[in-house]
């Protein structure tokens, strides 16, 4: 999570648990990115499926919708190794719309909504929209990351995106904790501060932008200056992704998306900043050709 939270004074053990879990997750992620191929795809698949399961529970989607969404996402991830990214995205979007149509009325029984039930039509339409949004929210970043890792400089490109998110998260957390100050979005997530958000963006510019500049210098240094601006933009997007997920949780009336990760909550809580960064970052690399 692109954290700019200020933990309570008595949060010593929870903070230690958060740090240990975070270190383990970083090691696992870097190992999968380094090996690429099936190892990376397997990690992305596992994270994507757990994310959608958490989304479905958080938005109270019925069992049929959950299973259909999980099957679609698993199939789409399998297709990323066989067809073009455009075909994968079209398959994902078409499948999401079909499932959303069933959830939104054509198959109301999937989500426990029946004719004549009080508020049934509203609930059914809401479930249809939540189904489409959840599938796209979980599936698009998965497709983006798998496609990006397969490029010539995919290893460096994916690590760059991860550094943007991790730097924004970690530095924002400790900057916000140390400096405090005005809240960033008190109605959505009251513990996040402007000082933390700004510190996280600056940290991402220095760490992620600097790392990208060094990698490109080793390859001739062409166009490395753009990565500092890109790192700042992606870090800001990571913070917005965190706020979006906080808003979703507040609307759903839950504190965390799940309990799988000690000190962090659910997988959605951990990857909320990466979701928009993966999509936007892959788009930039696709347009510029910087990763080959």
**DSSP letter string over 58-101?**
HTT--HHHHHHHHHHHHHHHHHTTTS-HHHHHHHHHHHHHHHHH
In a domain, 251, yes or no: yes
Regarding predicted confidence, which is higher, 97 or 104? 97
Torsion sign (Cα): 58, 53, 7, 246: negative
Q: Are 182 and 144 in a shared domain?
A: no
In a domain, 31, yes or no: no
Regarding predicted confidence, which is higher, 3 or 97? 97
- Residue 87 pLDDT level (bands cut at 50, 70, 90): very high
Q: Are 7 and 68 in a shared domain?
A: no
Q: Are 291 and 161 in a shared domain?
A: yes
Q: Is pLDDT above 60 for 3?
A: no
Q: Are 205 and 245 in a shared domain?
A: yes
Instruction: Indicate the average pLDDT of the chain.
Output: 86
Q: Are 54 and 187 in a shared domain?
A: no
Q: Are 173 and 91 in a shared domain?
A: no
pLDDT at 114: 43
Regarding predicted confidence, which is higher, 259 or 87? 87
Q: Are 161 and 288 in a shared domain?
A: yes
Q: Is pLDDT above 70 for 60?
A: yes
Torsion sign (Cα): 193, 196, 199, 203: negative
Poorest-pLDDT segment among 11-25, 41-55, 90-104: 11-25
Torsion sign (Cα): 277, 278, 279, 284: positive
Which of 133, 149, 165 terminates a domain? The answer is 149
0.75 exceeded by the pTM?
yes
Q: How many domains in the chain? A: 2
Range of the domain at 221: 1-12+154-292
Q: Are 162 and 145 in a shared domain?
A: no
Q: Are 137 and 162 in a shared domain?
A: no
pLDDT at 106: 56
Structure letter (DSSP) for residue 3:
-
pLDDT at 164: 96
In a domain, 121, yes or no: yes
Poorest-pLDDT segment among 47-61, 62-76, 103-117: 103-117
Average pLDDT estimate for 157-162: 95
Q: Are 44 and 114 in a shared domain?
A: yes
Which of 149, 176, 197 terminates a domain? The answer is 149
Q: Do 109 and 40 contact (CB within 8 A), yes or no?
A: no
Q: Are 127 and 192 in a shared domain?
A: no
């Amino acid at each position: 999570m692109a954290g700019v939270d200020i933990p309570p004074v008595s949060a010593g053990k929870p903070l230690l648990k958060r740090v240990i879990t975070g270190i383990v997750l970083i090691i696992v992620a870097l190992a999968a990115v380094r090996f690429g191929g099936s190892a990376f795809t397997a990690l992305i698949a596992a994270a994507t499926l757990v994310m959608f399961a958490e989304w479905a529970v958080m938005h109270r989607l019925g069992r049929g919708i959950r299973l259909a969404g999980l099957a679609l996402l698993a199939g789409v991830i399998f297709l990323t190794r066989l067809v073009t990214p455009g075909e994968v995205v079209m398959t994902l979007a078409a499948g999401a719309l079909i499932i959303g149509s069933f959830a939104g009325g054509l198959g109301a029984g999937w989500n426990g909504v029946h004719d004549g039930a009080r508020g049934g039509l509203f609930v059914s339409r809401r479930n249809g929209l939540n189904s489409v949004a959840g599938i796209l929210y979980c599936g698009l970043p998965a497709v983006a990351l798998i496609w990006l890792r397969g490029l010539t400089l995919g290893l460096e490109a994916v690590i760059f995106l991860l550094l943007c998110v991790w730097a924004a998260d970690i530095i924002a957390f400790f900057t916000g904790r140390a400096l405090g100050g005005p809240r960033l979005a008190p109605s959505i997530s009251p513990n996040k501060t402007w000082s933390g958000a700004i510190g996280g963006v600056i940290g991402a510019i220095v760490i992620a932008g600097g790392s990208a500049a060094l990698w490109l210098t080793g390859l001739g240094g062409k166009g490395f200056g753009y990565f500092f601006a890109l790192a700042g933009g992606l870090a800001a997007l990571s913070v917005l992704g965190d706020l979006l997920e906080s808003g979703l949780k507040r609307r759903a009336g839950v504190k965390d998306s799940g309990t799988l990760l000690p000190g962090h909550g659910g997988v959605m809580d951990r990857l909320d900043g990466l979701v928009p960064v993966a999509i936007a970052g892959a788009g930039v690399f696709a347009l510029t050709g910087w990763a080959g």
